[in-house]
Structure 1
Amino acid sequence: MRVNEKTVPVTPEPATSGPARRQWRPDLLLIAILGLALVVRLYAWWQAPRQGFVIDEAEYYQIGSILADGRGWAFYDMATWVRPPLYVLMLGGIFRWFGQNLEIVRAVQTVLSVATVYLLHRWTHKTFGRKTALVSSLLAAIAWPFAVLSYLLLSETLFLFLFLLSLNFLAEYLAYLPGDLPEKPRNRLSRMFPRPTLFLLASGVCLGLSALTRGQVLSFVPFIALWILISRGWRNWRGWLPPCAIIVVVFVLTVSPWALRNYQTYGRPFIDTTGGYNFYLGAMHGRNGALVSQTLETVKNQADRENLGYQKGLEILFKNPLDFAGKGIKETLDFWNLNFGADERLEESYTRGVVSPAWLLPDQLLGDTLYILVTVLALLGLVVAPSSRYGLKSFAVIWILYNMALAFAFFAVTRFRLPVYYLYFPFAAYVLVHPRETLAWLKQPFKLPGRPAKVKRLGWVVGLVMPVAFLAIVALSYLPPDGSLAQTGIGVQAWFAQQNEVRGDELRRQGKYDQALQAYSQALDYVPATQIGIGLTEALQGKYDAAIGRIGRTSQDIAQSHLALGWIYLRQGNEDYAHGEFRSRQIALDDFSDDWAWDNLPAVPLPDNKLTLGEFDWGYVKGFHIYEKENNNSPYFRWTDMRGETGSEPASLRFPLAAGNQPKSVSLYLNGFRPVSLTPPVVEVFANGRSLGKVQTTRAWQTYTLPLPADLNPGQQIIIQILPSSTFVPGADSRRELGVMVQWAKLNS
């Protein structure tokens, strides 16, 4: 494929300075497209089927929380690796000023994602013109993966913004021919730093910031120099050495504070150490991640640990190079392929009817289907589209090949492809906007002016082979019977069927047991939620043996089965059996066990209105971690968990009331333990949504009693809510977000 971008003349851009400067006018179509991009991202935010953190979200959140507390980078001393710092610094800054408010994070990322659409439009506009730029930005605006990324706590959104910003600055620099300045210097500063030089400096800074967001940019810097040489021509390579040197120097200066920090801490300058882990894991075909972590964590120094990862990976490579090559080819093909089960798609348990068509359908149409269409057109456009002095075409080719090489050496993950996918849009848009030119190119491969015959033949063959090869690769993962189209259909059908299970749950909670069983009978009987719902209904009807048998026959790999069985055993008075169910590993690993129990396990009035937190509190507590002990001889307690999307959601305690019970106050036994560097939190207490006041906790257990309002009018229950003023993450050895410790709570008459 020929990528020399000096052979095709480009119409000069209108002057942007001096007397001939045109009056700026807003591009209404572009504004509409950016508005559409915002709407698509807000829709993804609204419809996201949250099931807890996915992939690296939890780690980013936890490091950001530690930074916000002012405890620095100590997390990495105990972690498996050191990550680039910029994204977690952004999170830490937001958490510092706004608390652990995920909505603020998502809002910032949404703005960055929309701004990235504009940056793509700007580069495409200067390269291919307004129409192609508008279509390109439209494709980027509606592409579903980027809308989802703006919702997730992952570094890709920030990285794409900074990377595209760097490339825009560098493309502006490349647009100026050597010695050609757009305007006369107006002052001493402009003489020292002409406009092209400022573009070059800004590009180097943004490139460095990109590397501080995702470390893959570090090894890509030499290819930036290659891009400049290809874009401006090899004959004048000496003239382009200074700008290449400037970019490298500015890049090094930008990343040096973090690299020097790591040098002082670990004895070697680096940006991140995930490369050694990933190379070792990739060499093992992406399996045995626990073994990889266990092996590397025997080395405490992070720099030495990364070296060990590469050493282990190389040992596997040299021991069986053919196997490594086979793995590399598979990963290179997977780089282009679809993966319906990727965690970032948020479609876990879609076959059980828990993911709405409002999510599944745009994910299919604007995700997989659009990706295939865009990629086919882009691969054709890479050959058909003309070159320009802005270097978009040559950069796209280099960037694709570079990322394919990374996939070969390490492994392919769907989201690793997204920074490459973003650059497909301009070339797909070019083919859509210029169908006549494309058709003429396909019909007359030997009549293209200005190219040798061999180059024409090669380009024509490549332009046809690449889209066909891509379709061959992606067909099985897209088409029925096992592709994403079929899986989307399965998910949609399951969701509609399981609305009967949702209706059954509602009827069961209302005490309409016969109607609930009728609704359950129309749901999917193979889904555990259906059988658990029927079993709970049977238990409420007194049919304990039938309920236990039914739930016992369904999946025991989920927490809900054990919670339901434990609750039934408690109703029978069999605490030993209940004890065995509630201590199951599945419950301990499910962060939403208490939420499910709160919604599904009916609670009864407590003796003396005292709630002791521990094994048997399921259905009475929400927003807590699993129960635990300080030591073997101490009683159980629970930590309150993270404070929700807004950082202000309290933990809840349920007190069903017997007839005529009128409590006057509530007592809480709390401990506000914090590391020495942090202050124990103030805790605000609520009753049925009304604030009772605030208490200052200490690092010791203490009883706090607050009066209940005389006009509370509790009805059938009182919900006591606990909202600590702050939370903390202990560190890499315990990544839970902890609020305040609660041992018991009591309503006093």
Structure 2
Amino acid sequence: MSQFERTTHPKRTTASRTPGAPIIERLRLVLDLPLLLVLLVGLVIRVLLWDSLPRTGFISDEGEYLSAAHWLAQGRGFTWYLGYLWTRAPVYPLFIAVHLRIFGDTLTPIYATQTLLSLINVALVYYLARQLSQQRAVPTIAALLMACYLPFATYPQILLSETLYITLLLSGFLALAFAQKDETNHTSGTRYDWRFLIIAGGIFGLATLTRSLTLLFLPLVAAWLCWPHKTTWRTWSFLRPALAFLISAVCIITPWTLYNSRVYGGLVLVDTTGAFNLLLGAKTAAEGGRNDASTRNYVLNLISEQAPPFATDTCLGQTDIDPLPTQAARQGAMMSEGLCLIMDNPIAFTTKSFGELVDLFQINYTGSERFTGGFTTGRLPIWYASSLFLLDDTLYVLTLPLAVIGWALAWRTLTGPPRALVALIGLWWLYNIVVAPMLFAINRFRLPLLPFAFIIAAFAMVALARGIRWERRLLPWVAMAITLCVIATAPYAYLWPRNEALTSYFGFHPSSLNSTWLALTSRPIQHNTEAFRQALHADDRTTAQALLDDGLLTNQTRQLGPALLNAHNDLPNEGLDALAQTFNQTTSRLPETFAVTKNVAAAVLYGDLQRSLGNVDEARFTLGETFIDDANPVQWAWDWLDPVPTRSIDLAGDLDLGYIAGCYLGEGDTSIEPPVTFRWCTDGAQLRFPAAGSGTTQVLELHVDGRGWRAYASEAPATQVLLDDELVGTFSANGVETVMVTLPPTPAGEDVVVTLRTPTFIPEAADYLNQQGALAEQPRQLGVRIDRAELREVSP
């Protein structure tokens, strides 16, 4: 036996494992200096990351969670999901809703709580690692990896369930570890502390109500609890620990299942995401590639008759899909269609699942949760791109093989409860590796596996450093470690054709190494582009021209830069000529060219130049094109245009781009006479009246509509009007009204920029589902609905 085997886990004394031993004595960590130092490191990393992520909007399921939580906070229950593609497990929406209810419509308290949970997760990893080894280096290294791994530091600022789920998962594992009593003290095998078994069951029940994937893992935990009782199988007493655990978990889950049955019209154990994901996986296999649109369209037809017609017959032979009234019925339809597709071509499904398994271990540099979109434009700060490479991808590829070898070493060297815990970790890994690829696999699905990988990798590092006796039976595990490392890093990618590049650590684009290099070397592009924009607004023609001549700008800015420069210098004709020269077209053909290529920014600039020339009809026609409406480029126009002076803004009248910010796509309203167009605007929306300052008091006149609030509140809330960050007035409207707010003097010739601060609500799921293209996954947070805004002089 090696020195490591002799010293890794010394025999526990009876006193330390008796039920009456204080909890603080069992943990022995409250004043543990290594843990405190690691927590300090984790805290520093999270403080440095605070409010610094390169976000461009909500990603993945954030918008869905926020929408459902808003309705919960308003006391509307889980009814938002009645019209959505699936239903969700309740804990995380409730977690968000509680914060919204207490702190109001701000995400900062949610991020703060999740940051605290992420530090608790670091401590939980430390505690769990101490159950495997009394060598202080093992828990310290494991906790340090947990503290430094970038996703575990960034996810607290993302509205996704991973941080909370991992807290529950680690707590459940730790409770199971505490529940075990050393079998060397008993003749009848391993025994359990029933208190911790019940606590563990309750925690795993909560974890299941956070991520329904955990549901099928509960029987595996029960089997794990039964296994050590080999000597009592004939008396059935071996079932008692498993039953205690399962009954505790079921007591937590069952009330939610009963609620589901009432709200969703049938049996829904936890949620219906499993049915949707099964259908998505089956369609991916049947169609030869992942196509979320096909699955989404199928489910939309189950929800509404207004959905786009399904393109092909279903596997079950349906030519027309009739809407189903309940989520339970839709769950059944998705399950039936998915299973039909799998049974129709099981080989394709098996092949697809193997590909998903490989994807689970590979690195996807442009995954939405990494906020790397547009990295070749220099959008990512150097520190962030470097951290992604070092503290995310590099840590991952180093941990992966060590975790495999460490598990084999731990299984071979440990005995008693520590060895049982190693077995449970292995079960958790195996369960996820089998289940995730059957549905679909993305990088964040491996996050719940990594805390345990850090623990086992730390065990391996300490074992290897102390020296171990290599045996032939370890060779298969070494081979597996090498295989997974090769899959994750793909060093062979350099031999691959450039047009078939792999998502990997090594290799050409889109590998992590190459993408990181592109992100770092492209950073000056972003700096120069922003400097060019600021020079335009400062009327610094010399600097702007020098930056254009240098050429180190984004492709879009290089294309539109000459025209923008002319537009900001009141030379609209020259701006049109510059556009025509850039796109090698006559001026009259530019709108057609932009429509065909869907070049939104160029089309908006063309419309602005026509507006500056007084060609209102041409400007309105161009700015009213459908492809522009679909993109709703309100923020781009606000940032880049210098629109002609005006004292009146007709919102959604196709000529408002450049004058407004923070407003959504316009909508016509024929319920009033004459019909008008409105834009919903969110909290912080702005109205700009260029060169409208007069040096005297003025009145802001707004034609607004407060009827949209009736389904969400007894009356429309007050909207605050700010000028230069100073509150100058408030208004509220419960119907279609004209309101007036007096504004203090603005120096003559300066822009008058008004900011509107208002509470918001999020509409039903159908509204969220209608957001397409660049607006997809972005919930509309509606505050005030405006038809027009006008600035008037005060009559003497």
What TM-score does the superposition give when structure 1 sets the normalisation length?
A: 0.88
Q: CA 1:155/1:655 → structure 2, altered by over 3 Å: closer, same or farther?
A: same
Q: CA 1:242/1:714 → structure 2, altered by over 3 Å: closer, same or farther?
A: farther
The equivalent of 1:418 in structure 2 is 447
Q: How far apart, in 2, do the equivalents of 1:300 and 1:44 lie?
A: 45
Q: CA 1:505/1:613 → structure 2, altered by over 3 Å: closer, same or farther?
A: same
The equivalent of 1:596 in structure 2 is 636
Q: How far apart, in 1, do the equivalents of 2:268 and 2:355 lie?
A: 33
Q: Which amino acid aligns with 2:756?
A: I
By how many angstroms is 1:10 displaced? 4.9
Q: Which runs of 5+ in 2 are unaligned?
A: 303-322, 491-503, 584-589, 769-779
Q: How far apart, in 2, do the equivalents of 1:746 and 1:706 lie?
A: 11
Which of 684, 689, 701 does residue 667 from structure 1 map onto? 701
The equivalent of 1:737 in structure 2 is 781
Q: How far apart, in 2, do the equivalents of 1:630 and 1:224 lie?
A: 57
Q: How far apart, in 1, do the equivalents of 2:749 and 2:421 lie?
A: 67
Q: How far apart, in 1, do the equivalents of 2:749 and 2:195 lie?
A: 69
- Deviation per residue, 1:7-26 (Å, 9 max, x gap): x9752067276699699861
Q: CA 1:714/1:732 → structure 2, altered by over 3 Å: closer, same or farther?
A: farther
Which of 688, 709, 720 does residue 744 from structure 2 map onto? 709
By how many angstroms is 1:116 displaced? 0.9
Q: Which amino acid aligns with 1:628?
A: E
The more displaced of 596-605 and 241-250 is: 596-605
The equivalent of 1:12 in structure 2 is 12
The equivalent of 1:379 in structure 2 is 404
By how many angstroms is 1:176 displaced? 5.1
Q: Note if contact 1:663-1:748 (Cα within 8 Å) is conserved in structure 2.
A: no
The equivalent of 1:577 in structure 2 is 618
The equivalent of 2:391 in structure 1 is 366
Q: Note if contact 1:501-1:520 (Cα within 8 Å) is conserved in structure 2.
A: no
- Aligned pairs for 1:670-689 (under 5 A) are 670-673=704-707, 674-679=709-714, 680-689=716-725
The equivalent of 2:314 in structure 1 is none
Q: CA 1:660/1:416 → structure 2, altered by over 3 Å: closer, same or farther?
A: closer
Q: How far apart, in 2, do the equivalents of 1:24 and 1:70 lie?
A: 41
Q: Which runs of 5+ in 1 are unaligned?
A: 182-193, 446-456, 644-649
Matched, 1:721 2:718: no
Q: Which amino acid aligns with 2:158?
A: L
Q: Note if contact 2:389-2:516 (Cα within 8 Å) is conserved in structure 1.
A: yes
Q: Note if contact 2:685-2:757 (Cα within 8 Å) is conserved in structure 1.
A: yes
Q: CA 1:659/1:161 → structure 2, altered by over 3 Å: closer, same or farther?
A: closer
Q: CA 1:658/1:681 → structure 2, altered by over 3 Å: closer, same or farther?
A: closer
Q: Note if contact 1:85-1:212 (Cα within 8 Å) is conserved in structure 2.
A: yes
The equivalent of 2:298 in structure 1 is 295
Q: How far apart, in 1, do the equivalents of 2:703 and 2:563 lie?
A: 36
- Deviation per residue, 1:73-116 (Å, 9 max, x gap): 22111111111011001111111111121111111111111101
Q: How far apart, in 2, do the equivalents of 1:730 and 1:106 lie?
A: 23
Matched, 1:59 2:59: no
Q: Which amino acid aligns with 1:532?
A: L
Q: Which amino acid aligns with 2:385?
A: L
The equivalent of 1:507 in structure 2 is 535
Q: How big is the alpha-carbon RMSD for the aligned residues of Structure 1 and Structure 2?
A: 2.7
Q: How far apart, in 2, do the equivalents of 1:630 and 1:573 lie?
A: 28
- Aligned pairs for 1:30-45 (under 5 A) are 30-45=35-50
Q: Note if contact 1:664-1:748 (Cα within 8 Å) is conserved in structure 2.
A: yes
By how many angstroms is 1:311 displaced? 1.7
- Aligned pairs for 1:236-385 (under 5 A) are 236-237=232-233, 238-265=236-263, 266-285=265-284, 287-296=290-299, 297=302, 298-385=323-410
- Aligned pairs for 1:449-528 (under 5 A) are 457-458=472-473, 460-476=474-490, 477-482=504-509, 483-524=511-552, 527-528=555-556
3-state SS of 1:478 partner: coil
By how many angstroms is 1:202 displaced? 1.1
3-state SS of 2:131 partner: helix
The more displaced of 622-631 and 383-392 is: 383-392
The equivalent of 1:218 in structure 2 is 215
Q: Which amino acid aligns with 2:352?
A: K
- Deviation per residue, 1:262-292 (Å, 9 max, x gap): 1123121410001111111111226332222
Matched, 1:536 2:564: yes
Q: How far apart, in 1, do the equivalents of 2:782 and 2:123 lie?
A: 40
Q: How far apart, in 1, do the equivalents of 2:21 and 2:362 lie?
A: 50
Q: Which amino acid aligns with 1:474?
A: A
By how many angstroms is 1:411 displaced? 1.2
Matched, 1:621 2:660: yes
By how many angstroms is 1:355 displaced? 1.7
3-state SS of 1:657 partner: coil
3-state SS of 2:786 partner: strand
The equivalent of 1:190 in structure 2 is none
Matched, 1:128 2:125: no
By how many angstroms is 1:604 displaced? 3.1
Q: How far apart, in 2, do the equivalents of 1:692 and 1:589 lie?
A: 34
Q: CA 1:529/1:69 → structure 2, altered by over 3 Å: closer, same or farther?
A: farther
By how many angstroms is 1:211 displaced? 0.7
Which of 169, 175, 190 does residue 163 from structure 1 map onto? 169
The more displaced of 534-543 and 85-94 is: 534-543
The equivalent of 2:178 in structure 1 is 172
- Deviation per residue, 1:4-52 (Å, 9 max, x gap): x9xx975206727669969986122211211211222233333211111
By how many angstroms is 1:256 displaced? 1.4
3-state SS of 2:754 partner: strand
The more displaced of 477-486 and 495-504 is: 495-504
Q: Note if contact 1:671-1:702 (Cα within 8 Å) is conserved in structure 2.
A: yes
By how many angstroms is 1:177 displaced? 4.5
Q: CA 1:284/1:122 → structure 2, altered by over 3 Å: closer, same or farther?
A: same
**Greater relative contact order, per chain length (Cα 8 Å cut-off, separation 6+):** 1
3-state SS of 2:639 partner: helix
3-state SS of 1:479 partner: coil
Q: Which amino acid aligns with 1:597?
A: A
- Deviation per residue, 1:545-571 (Å, 9 max, x gap): 333223668994454333222212212
- Deviation per residue, 1:184-228 (Å, 9 max, x gap): xxxxxxxxxx99222111111111110111100111111111222
3-state SS of 1:127 partner: coil
The equivalent of 1:395 in structure 2 is 424
What TM-score does the superposition give when structure 2 sets the normalisation length?
A: 0.83
- Aligned pairs for 1:643-654 (under 5 A) are 643=683, 650-654=684-688
The more displaced of 309-318 and 573-582 is: 573-582
By how many angstroms is 1:229 displaced? 3.4
Matched, 1:435 2:435: no
Q: CA 1:229/1:405 → structure 2, altered by over 3 Å: closer, same or farther?
A: same
3-state SS of 1:312 partner: helix
Q: Note if contact 2:266-2:329 (Cα within 8 Å) is conserved in structure 1.
A: no
Q: Which amino acid aligns with 1:201?
A: I
Q: How far apart, in 1, do the equivalents of 2:626 and 2:489 lie?
A: 40
Q: Which amino acid aligns with 2:443?
A: T
Q: CA 1:406/1:521 → structure 2, altered by over 3 Å: closer, same or farther?
A: farther
Matched, 1:147 2:188: no
The equivalent of 2:104 in structure 1 is 99
